[in-house]
Amino acid sequence: MPEAFAPLTLALRGAQWPEALGALADPPAELYVRGAWPSGPCVAIVGARASTEYGRTFAHRLAADLAGLGVVIVSGLARGIDAAAHLGALDAGGATIAVLPGSLDRITPPSHAELAQRIVGSSGALVAEWERDVHVTRGLFLERNRLIAGLSLATVVVEAAHRSGALATAAIARKLGRPVLAVPGDIDRPSSRGCNALLRAGALWCEGARDVLDALGPVALAPHAAARNPANDAIAAAAGEPRAGEAPRVCAAAKESMASDAARVAAILDAEPRELGAVSRRAGLTPERVLAALLELQWSGVAATHPGPRWSAGRDDGAPHGARGAR
């Protein structure tokens, strides 16, 4: 096991769980965490291991856009879509949680040990139901999937075969009464069949971050949604650090007056990166409307995102969003 994984491992029990897990019919007796539990509303992005370049690129871009708005990306560290989602969040300077199918000391797949190390070193977390010495079996992947759905306020399936673990995660999320979104795909592509079946069954259409924000609704803006998560306090106390303050605020994309809001926000942006509150005050608009406008401006190249998250005028300094690294 890499040295970076040797420090603090924390067991969360009962009241220390992330609140969203309380809705599971079979919650774990305890959770083992390595890293820093991120503050913010969690969204799962899952999909096929045997993914296409299109699917990985979309997952990376969606995760980057959401992470730039303060959303925590949850996935399973698997090859393909999962890895692209984790990388998208990390490349955007955001936070991500990787849920492992066995124990915390066994990175699955082993080829993603470097990605796991990067998550731990970037204000993210590895999570498992067992601390050590549990070998991964097929059944444990299904157990892992329920945790991914249970931790997340919404689940997005990017690519999936007709029978897949991603569809199992979506089914659990639906039972929990949480939004399930699917990315439409080519009807002749096997990796699109699962998503297209979800859409026929009533899943929400997903073409980008605005669709996810719409699905989350006002719950994503409420400070209590993640600001004082018991898991954050438990990890901070064990590490001898102060408790986390208010989480980044995220909102549903406002549909009314989008064009005028975007013009108003663009007029007050300059070279200095500013947090949402500062942009909101300068524009004289609510945070909800400002976030929707910023997302629109980001796509058009008028606004750039920075870690924090913060925004300025101009395009991002980095390369365009795309799926890079682990597969």
Q: What is the pLDDT of residues 199-239, one digit of tens each?
A: 888 899 998 888 898 888 765 544 434 434 544 544 444 43
Predicted local confidence at residue 85, as pLDDT = 96
Segment 165-193 mean pLDDT? 87
* DSSP H or E segment with residue 236: helix 230-239
- Please tell me the least confidently modeled range out of 174-188, 203-217, 227-241, 311-325: 227-241
How would residue 318 be classed by pLDDT, with cut points 50, 70 and 90? Answer: very low
What would the pLDDT profile of 91-122 be if each residue is shown by its tens digit?
998 999 999 988 888 888 889 999 999 999 88
Threshold 0.85, pTM exceeds: no
Segment 181-202 mean pLDDT? 85
Choice between 157 and 226, residue whose per-residue pLDDT is larger: 157
Give the rounded distance of the alpha carbon of 203 from its chain centre.
18
The size of the chain, in residues, is 327
Predicted local confidence at residue 160, as pLDDT = 87
Walk across the sheet containing 42-46 and list its strands.
Answer: 9-12, 31-35, 125-128, 96-99, 72-75, 42-46, 154-157, 180-182, 204-205
Say if CB 262 and CB 293 are below 8 A apart.
yes
Cis before 309 (ω within 30)? yes
Predicted local confidence at residue 210, as pLDDT = 85
Choice between 246 and 131, residue whose per-residue pLDDT is larger: 131
